[in-house]
Amino acid sequence: MAELSPLDAKLLAQDLPALALADVVSSVFSGQRGQLEYRAAGEPNKPVALMLHGLGSSSAGYRAQFAGLSRDFHVIAWNAPGFGDSSQIQGQDAGIEDYANALEGLLRALGIRRLAILVGSSWGSVVALAFARRYPALIGSLLLSAPNVARGHITGEARDAELNAWLRMADVDILASRAAVANRLVAPDAPTQVRQLVERLRDGMTTDGWRQAIRSLFTVYTPEIIPEVRCPIAILSGTLDQVAPYRDHAERLLAAAPWSTSQLFEDYGHILKLEAPSKFNAVVREIAA
């Protein structure tokens, strides 16, 4: 990976917008009501770009998009149900459709009738695809970064064994080296500024929210639903991604939706929005247009 450009360094150095809470009416929450935490930047009358984070992250992962896109867009990133101070989906289990429904409730709460672009990173790409299929009138375009095919195609004892293995590790009280986490998420020679931000991404996680999100991954297989999504789709992949390697994930999605566009980020890892922020932002502008 090359050193950060001055523009990228500036984007990553910007402060995050303050967190806010929206009161959301949705059947996925206990009592039909919950609260969803989010950040927003840019004028509300601008086209809306909404960002969905991955399993081990939060709205804070979109620091460079708030900084770099807010002149052209009203940029919003949520803390998914069960992350940060967002209400958890009722019950122990949650399907991916529950997250899509919660997101629709957030849009209603914020008075947003249509998204210019929906951006999903990693697990967020799974939620984004489910939302785009279920609510096609609410979305203009879709960007899937380091996308995940999810685990819904696994059945029987193999499914139970893999799910239980994931759940055993999903505990915020288990001590994990921040450096080791970053080593898995970014390219080996990622600049210090990037690594420091990535090491803090897990700070908004809760154990219950993490486990519920993991269970949702086992309720869908995204190559089966992407053919039903008819808005423009862009798929971004880092060639050094260890979490969602291109061949195992993006390639399968492209085979299922060959009209999608694809872009490989050479020598970058899983967190493209922080590793290559200005390049990432340029793709957002392009696909939203």
Give the model's pLDDT for residue 180. 86
The dihedrals phi and psi of 129, each to the nearest 5 degrees, come to: -65, -40
Task: Transcribe 99-114 into DSSP letters.
Answer: HHHHHHHHHHHHT---
Parallel, antiparallel, or unpaired for β 74-79 and 117-121? Answer: unpaired
Give the model's pLDDT for residue 2. 60
Encoded tokens for 255 = 């085979």
Portion of the chain with pLDDT greater than 90, in percent: 90
Average pLDDT over residues 249-264: 98
Average pLDDT over residues 116-127: 98
Helical axes 123-134 vs 96-110, angle rounded to 10°:
70
Give the model's pLDDT for residue 156. 96
Q: Report residue 250's pLDDT band, with 50, 70 and 90 as the boundaries.
A: very high
DSSP class of 115:
B
Half-sphere exposure of 227 toward its Cβ, with a 13 Å CA cutoff? 6
Parallel, antiparallel, or unpaired for β 20-25 and 48-52? Answer: unpaired
% helix, strand, coil for the chain, step of 5: 45, 15, 40
- pTM score, whole prediction: 0.96
- Give the range among 55-59, 111-115, 173-177, 218-222 with minimum mean pLDDT: 173-177
Q: Report residue 178's pLDDT band, with 50, 70 and 90 as the boundaries.
A: confident
pLDDT in tens, 80-108: 999 999 999 998 789 999 999 999 999 99
DSSP class of 222:
H
CA 67 to chain centre: 18
Give the model's pLDDT for residue 175. 73
Q: Report residue 181's pLDDT band, with 50, 70 and 90 as the boundaries.
A: confident
Judge whether residue 28 has pLDDT over 80. yes
Judge whether residue 56 has pLDDT over 90. no
Q: Tell me what the pLDDT averaged over the chain comes to.
A: 95
Judge whether residue 1 has pLDDT over 60. no
Q: Where are the beta strands (DSSP E) in the chain?
A: 20-25, 33-41, 48-52, 74-79, 117-121, 142-145, 233-238, 261-265
The full length of the chain comes to 289
